[in-house]
Amino acid sequence: MDDIEDFIYRANSKFFSKRKNIFNPLQYLNVKVFGCVRLESDGRFAHLTNDVEAVTLWYGQKHHFSFPYLKDPRLLRTGYIATPTVEPKEQKDFFVKNYEINRGLVIIYCNGSRMYGFIYFPEDAKFKSESLLTNLELIHKFNKYFLHETEADIQRMMAQDFNLKKNKGNLFTEDDKNNPLFRSNQNVNSFFQSISRLTPREEECLQLFQQGYSAQASAAILGISRRTVEHHINHIKEKYKCYSKWELLNK
């Protein structure tokens, strides 16, 4: 094993042996493989999963070098997208045959120097990951639950001596203007500017509020203070002329 394989395998083997029951709710969402990533712009990194073997192999085969969402969080925006397990096709076929995983649903909560990413692969590799979108509300709730339950585990993994920025080199800061989850995508930026009264930060706070996150939880995801989140929510209320923040649920 190289450094990243050893890092992923050791941390997840220990985690899974003690906390495997935390993944039980995924059976009701028909999810086969799940992963949660926390990544900082300085390269500190954690990845917890319910399939230690498949994810360790994925890193060992260097697929994280081409995976577009393991990059400097300052390049990314909050959102979700369907994506293949790996490229090229023959390597993708290997994962389909041996692990029955094909396309996944990637969800990113990102602001400033911190990113939380979640990836879900359906139980049946023949199903398109888009089928998971029917359970998107429940998936957001599981993300919130998982972060709450594993905060200490993530912190322990982040504290270990591994740095993804050093591992990926220049690829860590390589931009992708054609990808809709990158802040540099001009089409997405122009779209938001044309329809929104809100700043990008306010958009992120509103999205998290609508997904059921408290100000404290939103602050942890975005890497800002609870007071700053509340300040943004109050500004949003003023812009939409809402008397209560609960009116924002329909905005």
The whole-number pLDDT of residue 100 equals 67
pLDDT tens profile 121-165: 888 766 666 678 888 999 999 999 999 999 999 999 999 989 999
Ranges of the chain whose pLDDT falls below 70: 1-2, 86-92, 94, 96, 98-100, 125-130, 251
- Taking alpha carbons only, the member of 112, 107, 115 closest to residue 46 is 115
pLDDT at res. 89: 62
Q: Please give the model's pTM, rounded to 2 decimal places.
A: 0.79
Helix axes 52-60, 89-99, angle to 10 degrees: 160
Domain 3-173 part of CATH 2.40.10: no
Q: In what order do the strands lie in the sheet with 114-122?
A: 45-49, 31-40, 114-122, 103-111, 79-84
Question: What does the pLDDT read at residue 99?
Answer: 67
Identify the pLDDT of residue 90.
59
Q: Which CATH architecture has domain 196-250?
A: Orthogonal Bundle (1.10)
Q: Delimit the domains of the chain by residue range.
A: 3-173, 196-250
Per-residue pLDDT at 12: 95
- Residue 76 DSSP one-character state: B
